[in-house]
């Protein structure tokens, strides 16, 4: 994995919800940087760029502290949303090295049209759209694909059946349901 993007960040001297709200009003996204045995650092990122990276699935990127000119590789650890669950209001970032072992959620995209969907009343249900994997930051996949063409009525696919790239291990429960085809019963 190559780190594709660098975000310029600013240190936040004042913390707390009142000051975080002010940062958001200025077009910045509050964040906290953790890890590697160092004290947490409160940061402000350009909201437009940061949210674009997050919504496009970026989890590993570099940040450059504007005041110090120091660049660090970080892993997106947590996203906080507003009370409606629609707008990103805060990020938690972790300092990482590309060869460091991490556990991270990876989006799983369903590919193909399940043959069972041709049956009357058949419905595809997907319980999870991501799984947790363990690997080095360098080997962290951006996305995994799960082929569902063969899936018929009454069949299921679990997390343990997803083909993982070399160097990537499943950290989720292998029995986590990923996809199933069921027939909806008619109600009189």
74's tokens: 């970080």
Extended beta strands in the chain, E state: 6-11, 28-34, 41-46, 60-65, 70-81, 88-95, 101-111, 122-125, 130-136, 143-147, 156-158, 169-170, 177-183
157's tokens: 């696919």
8's tokens: 């310029």
The DSSP annotation for 3-43 comes to ---EEEEEE-SS-SHHHHHHHHHTTEEEEEEE-TT---EEE
Q: Which residue has the tokens 């930051």?
A: 137
Exposed, middle or buried, 30 (CB in 10 Å: 0-12/13-18/19+)? buried
Alpha-carbon Rg for the chain in angstroms: 20
Distance between CA atoms of residues 30 and 11, nearest Å: 10
Per-position pLDDT tens, the chain of length 188 = 556 678 888 888 777 677 777 777 788 888 898 887 788 888 888 888 888 888 877 788 888 887 677 788 888 888 888 888 888 888 899 888 888 898 888 889 989 888 888 888 888 888 888 899 999 988 888 889 999 999 889 899 999 999 999 999 999 999 999 999 988 865 55
């Amino acid at each position: 994995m190559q780190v594709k993007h660098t975000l310029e960040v600013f240190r936040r001297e004042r913390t707390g919800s009142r000051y975080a709200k002010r940062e958001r009003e200025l077009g910045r996204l509050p964040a906290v940087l953790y890890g590697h045995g160092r004290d947490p650092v409160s940061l402000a990122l350009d909201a437009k760029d940061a949210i674009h990276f997050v919504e496009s699935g970026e989890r590993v990127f570099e940040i450059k502290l504007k005041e110090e000119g120091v660049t660090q590789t970080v892993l997106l650890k947590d996203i906080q949303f507003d009370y409606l669950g629609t707008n990103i209001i805060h990020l938690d970032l972790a300092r990482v090295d590309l060869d460091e072992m991490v556990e991270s959620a990876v989006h799983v995209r369903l590919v193909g049209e399940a043959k069972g969907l041709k049956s009357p009343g058949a419905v595809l249900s997907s319980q999870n759209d991501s799984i947790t994997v363990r690997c080095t930051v360098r080997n962290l996949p951006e996305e995994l694909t799960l082929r569902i063409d063969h899936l018929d009525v009454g069949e299921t696919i679990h997390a343990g059946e997803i083909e993982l790239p070399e160097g990537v291990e499943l950290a989720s429960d292998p029995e986590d349901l990923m996809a199933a085809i069921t027939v909806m019963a008619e109600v009189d």
